[in-house]
Amino acid sequence: MQIIPAIDIIEGKCVRLTEGDYGRKKIYNENPLEVALQFEDAGLQRLHLVDLDGAKAGAVKNWNVLETIASKTSLTIDFGGGIKQDDDLRIVFNSGAAYATVGSMAVKAPGVFHQWLRHYGPERFLLGADVREEKMAVSGWLETTDISIFRFLEEQIALGVQQVFCTDVGKDGRLEGPALDLYRKIREAFPELFFIASGGVSSLQDLDDLQAIGCSGAIVGKAIYENRFSLSDLQRYH
């Protein structure tokens, strides 16, 4: 199971939100590159980089942070937040992202997303599925739709999507454990999918549990920043 550390960016700084609430943000480091270098030094290979300013504005904002980290580390970076237009996507790839992370657009503008898949290839995308009670949540989790996560994934996989991360909105940033039952169901429904768990990881036991149900990866954020375990502890999952 790959451990994928997360860096969330507001105004160029490394922050974490609780349940996606911009009013409940905590700044952990003024210098995201410093954080990324620590992850690289610990042997981690991937990075989940989220442009929270971009997500709010509906256009990529912190691409310079991506460019800096991509040019100064060898981390495989997925970048998301505010990718709405072709120009946003170009900026993200030109700035060094291996994958563009797309979530709400796949739900709200599937035609555009599917055009991107055809143009760049599905292997260049990490699909983010935000879920509340097995229904898709969009727009920074402000809206819950009637679309079932299972139906949504079935449609996207049919179009060639290979990697998906799923966040249970009620769990994110709360350090109360991941949505194991939901993830187990998704793993059983789509055993071939490179499935990444996201949200709620608070301990090494949580990571062991995710590995046990067959998750391909786990995105870890707040638990690292709150020192629930050390980066060296994560080497056992390499």
Catalytic positions are 8, 130
What is the C-alpha to C-alpha distance for residues 58 and 139, in angstroms, rounded to an integer?
A: 9
In angstroms, how far is CA 215 from the centroid of its own chain? Answer: 14
Straight-line distance from the first to the last Cα atom of the chain, in angstroms, rounded to the nearest whole number:
7
Please provide residue 195's backbone torsions phi and psi, each rounded to the nearest 5 degrees: -105, 125
Q: Are 196 and 4 in contact (CB under 8 A)?
A: yes
3, two tokens: 């451990």
Q: Among residues 95, 96, 115, 97, which one has the least CA distance to residue 105?
A: 115
